[in-house]
Every structure is written in structure tokens, then in C-alpha cells.
Amino acid sequence: EVQLLESGGGLVQPGGSLRLSCEASGFTFSSYAMSWVRQAPGKGLEWVSGIASSGGTTYYSDSVKGRFTISRDNSKNTLYLQMNSLRAEETAVYYCAKGGGIIAAELNLWGQGTLVTVSS
């Protein structure tokens, strides 16, 4: 079955860190760019970061640049998002999503999401 499965969400204090994982199955993970998209409670979708299929190119939204790091391990079919210096306003469901051959593409497969709560 073609799917993405996120994990690693939870409760973290402001200023804390968390690492999200996204395990892919059912497709050739190493052939596709991947992205992280978040959605605060009751709000819209916000693209956070993207990574090329090889892992050699990464992009970040201005709001997370310098604090978040996206990476991937193609041997493990897994995408990661290391989040540091978390802020309360970053409480959201974080989705991983499969792109096309490049980062700037439609997101044609989404995981179920993992909830990150930043609160003291």
C-alpha cells in the first residue's frame, strides 16, 4: 500500500526541540521530493520545508529557517524534520507529503499527520 506514516509529535515546552519522522512505503521513495506542511488548529495549510529526492537541496519557509532542519534517509525510506527553539504558535498538525521530481510540485500523497503541541 502506498502510504506515509508520521511519528514523533507530542508535547514540548517553548524553546524545546522535537524530531518528526515520516516513513514511506509502496513507492520508490528515493525518486521523489518531499515536503513538510503544517496546520495550526482551525487554520489553513502552511508549507514548512522541502527536500529534493537526493537530499542535496533543501528549502525552508522564512518562519522556520535557521531553527528547523529537514533531512531524509533514502536507505530507510524515511523523512525527518528536526525542530529546535519551538514557539507556542507552532502548535499544529505536521504532515509529510510526497511531491514530484522537484520540490516545487503538487503534493500528491499525504500522511495522516502528527500533532505537535508547544506549551508550558
Partner 1 sequence: DIQMTQSPSSLSASVGDRVTITCRASQSISSYLNWYQQKPGKAPKLLIYAASTLQSGVPSRFSVSGSGTDFALTITTLQPEDFATYYCQQSYSTPLTFGQGTKVEIK
27 scored as a contact of partner 1 (CB under 8 A): no
103 scored as a contact of partner 1 (CB under 8 A): yes
**54-93 as b/e: b if 16+ CB within 10 A:** ebeeebbeeebeeebbbebeeeebbbbbebeebeeebbbb
Q: Which is nearer to partner 1, 44 or 66 (CB)?
A: 44
Q: Which is nearer to partner 1, 16 or 101 (CB)?
A: 101
67 contacts 90 by C-beta, under 8 angstroms: no
Q: Which is nearer to partner 1, 32 or 60 (CB)?
A: 60
53 contacts 33 by C-beta, under 8 angstroms: yes
Q: Which is nearer to partner 1, 55 or 113 (CB)?
A: 113
Range in contact with partner 1 (rule: CB under 8 A) among 20-28, 71-79, 82-90, 103-111? 103-111
Three-class DSSP category at 30: helix
**Interface residues toward partner 1, by CB under 8 A:** 35, 37, 44-47, 50, 59-62, 95, 103-113
